Structure 1
Amino acid sequence: MLAAAIALALVSTVVVADEPRCVKWRATSGCDPAGPRDSWYDASCSSTIQSGSSGYCECENRRRVREVDCEHHLFTCHDACKEDASAELHYPAGMEYVTCGSTIKLVHEASRFRLHSHEVNYGTGSGQQSVTAHGSRDDYNSYWLVKEGDGEAACTLGAKIACGSTIRLEHINTRRNLHSHNFASPLSSGRFGEVSGFGVAGDGDRSDSWILECESGMQCKAGDEACANGAAPSWARDDLVRLRHVETQRYLHSDHAASFNNQNCPRCPIVGQQEVNAVPTKNDNGLWFAGEGIYLG
């Protein structure tokens, strides 16, 4: 019932800001703005970005603008963040944190693809519902409901999710939970674990549970009253996080280099999407953050 109600109400929380701040020019390799990061060539906001380099400008709240290949006009990221309407967003007071019952898009930091699912099953492995990363920020199949871990007491709607918590993510449109197990993911030649959608009407099993690890560690942020009073920090929307699978201890992961195409998945409905898998060690491709959605306060 909760998932259905939220699905009907989905909107992005958008507020126009006067002058979004620039963070940095983020360089990528291969003349592909969605390609692997090449931090050696990162630049300050005031630097003039010359043709011959690819990447994007990062603005406040992890907004990414002016994604360019190697052929582009000269610009600075300071100007790009001021001019690009997609950067004119900030979090309203009281909506800075991810809370129980919020419906969110989980954004892959390295590629900016969104965690995604759909009624398309894997042709290998478990045969369960596939989970991928999708390049569009507007696709309605990329919304997930944040809730307590399997077997835990129901979390309080609107309560902040603490770093270190065990959570589940329920896919809004299909009511299946983000899940992993020991089946191999389809593109990784047995090296990584498959990630799938599992369950019926939001009910699954322990393999739907993930531990939330916040990159900010134990640092308290302004407005996080529980943390100021000695509790664990809360999951802030601009935090980078990792999701560690309870059963396999592997991390939710995606990589632009592992994408479905007509060679590895002929005539597939998921061509162009990235594989999502679970890996045993931490790396930059396991970092995510909370993007568009409806956040309960």
Structure 2
Amino acid sequence: MTADPIDQALFPPFDDAAGFDRIRADLGAFLPAIRAVCERHGLAASGLAAFERGTNVVVSNDAGQIIKLFPPFLRHQFEAERLALGRVHGNVPVATPEILREGELDGWPYLVMSRLPGRTLEEVWPALGGAERAEALARIGEIMTAAHALPTGGLESLDLGWDAFVERQIAGCEGRHRRMRLPERLVAQIPAYLASARPLLPTSVIPVLLTGEYTPENLLVTRTGGAWRVTGMIDFADACLGPAEYDLLGPCLFLAAGSAELQRAFLVACGTGIADLTPALSRKLMALALLHRYSNLGYQIRIEGWESQASSLSELEQLIWPFPVR
């Protein structure tokens, strides 16, 4: 990694993480830094366009490259993306960005990556029929299984430290979901619900590589033979090591969304046997969803009107994961 003394004026001022988020997608604010990266590495600085969604500064150029700037307080995301991409690229059955360059500007680490073709699954999902949706979820399950089988040596810095992590998440669970504006009747049930689910949670796990990004915004699809197919996966800044079940939540919540058939297509592709699609699995996954470090059920559950359909967390788990499925 290279690091040069750079004028602070390359980067706009901000007071905190919220301040950064407000300016993150403002290309003009970060144009001096982006141009400095392009000049340093001989990249095209034409056709620059910023991505509106995301956590970091992400800009594309017209040469098919992505420049991603990480503010100093998100250096851990830079490390996660760099390490995870280095492990998955060329080793999973889907395209992932190739890291072309990396470096640092005045404490801001950055990556230059190849840009993948396709549209996000989020864009096309509403237009997909049931069979196409089931095929997409099965495909995601195959990709996830391959990623979980990769060796984790050299990735130890990404380890969540699962048992201690779970304890911290349990301690802060009520407060988090109150801040996320989960209905109070459900927040009040969290302690008892987690106590009932505690024996089902993974413990003393042998960790696997979790990308944290099997969500429709970070899965790319292209149209092949008249059908949409998952062909790419992007954004590995939340990658970590932990139990395989932790990765199941994105597709289950965002995509399968209460459909027994879609849940089955995905989970069976991940190696879950039909006989294991039980109420106990529903409870374990619901508990993991509550404990996820980015849990925000109001955004993540894609079942219309779910707040009025579930008066309890037990009802909510069955609404999302209606097992047993035969």
TM-score range, shorter chain: under 0.3
If each structure's helix is expressed as a fraction of its own residues, which one has the higher value?
A: 2
If each structure's strand is expressed as a fraction of its own residues, which one has the higher value?
A: 1
TM-score by length of 1: 0.26
Q: Which structure has the bigger radius of gyration?
A: 2
